[in-house]
């Protein structure tokens, strides 16, 4: 399995999963040039994308729908209108996308509906994909314990957000149960779910204004250590909107 993050942040989000039998695009909020270039570097083209999965319908996750094949999109009903009813996904079901198993995870965001994903790859390793959520429901946490890979939102530093020039209404939205996870919240959740199988954590959807790669990494690492998590064998990285990152 090859996981490639094309962009991550308030201005664009998209990731590629490349396995032996499938190429999955998770969200399509990046520019066409970045996607085409990355596919080409992996001897692929837009036509080789097998499936496109959407977490929700905010523009930073779906802006690129205009240049992909809409017939390859799968998502919850009402995220976008699809031509085939069979492409609408449901919670509490497991889908097989050419050997990659996909289960929807409940999240909490102000775009309705919304979800995360639990991927099980051909080699039986697993990844939790959690972004754009104000909190993580317990039912989701129980499903994603001790996985190999985590793509996990770490949106903002609370102090930087509160002291920013953003409006009170925007600050309230971000801090709400339907907003975004802070670095501290991400670390607390990760402390509960990671285990001896865990290999990599990708901290995602960092705010340009109210966070930084260094702040997110230092905060999450500190809290994990305070909770007696052994990080010797875990690779923790931060993602950005302008850098393509390979897992």
CATH architecture of 2-246: 4-Layer Sandwich (3.60)
Which band of pLDDT confidence, cut at 50, 70 and 90, is reported for residue 173? Answer: very high
CA distance 110 to 52: 22
Give the relative orientation of helices 213-226 and 183-193 as an angle to the nearest 10 degrees.
Answer: 40
Residue 83: the pLDDT is 87
- Every domain of the chain and the residues it spans: 2-246
pLDDT digits (tens, 9 = 90+) for 37-94: 999 999 999 999 999 999 999 999 999 999 999 999 999 999 999 989 999 999 999 9
Q: C-alpha angle 185/16/117, rounded to 5°?
A: 45
pTM of the model: 0.96
pLDDT digits (tens, 9 = 90+) for 202-211: 999 999 999 9
What is the total residue count of the chain?
Answer: 247
């Amino acid at each position: 399995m090859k996981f490639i993050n094309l962009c991550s942040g308030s201005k664009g989000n998209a990731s590629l999963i490349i396995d032996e039998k499938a190429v999955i695009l998770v969200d399509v909020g990046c520019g066409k040039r970045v996607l085409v270039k990355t596919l080409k570097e992996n001897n692929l083209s837009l036509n080789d994308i097998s499936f496109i999965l959407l977490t929700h319908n905010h523009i930073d996750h779906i802006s690129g729908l205009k240049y992909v094949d809409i017939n390859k999109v799968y998502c919850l009903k009402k995220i976008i209108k699809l031509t085939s009813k069979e492409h609408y996904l449901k919670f509490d079901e497991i889908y097989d996308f050419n050997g990659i198993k996909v289960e929807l995870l409940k999240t909490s965001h102000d775009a309705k509906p919304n979800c995360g994903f639990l991927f099980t790859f051909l080699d039986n390793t697993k990844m939790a994909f959690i972004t754009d959520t104000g909190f993580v429901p317990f039912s989701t946490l129980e499903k994603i314990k001790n996985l190999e890979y985590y793509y996990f939102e770490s949106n903002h530093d609370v102090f930087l957000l509160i002291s920013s020039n953003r409006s009170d209404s925007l600050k309230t939205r971000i801090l709400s149960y339907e907003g975004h996870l802070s670095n501290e919240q991400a670390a607390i959740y990760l402390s509960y779910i990671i285990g001896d199988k865990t290999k990599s954590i990708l901290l995602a959807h960092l705010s340009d204004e109210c966070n930084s790669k260094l702040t997110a990494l230092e905060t999450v690492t500190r809290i994990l250590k305070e909770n007696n998590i052994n990080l010797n064998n875990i690779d923790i990285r931060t993602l950005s909107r302008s850098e393509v990152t390979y897992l």
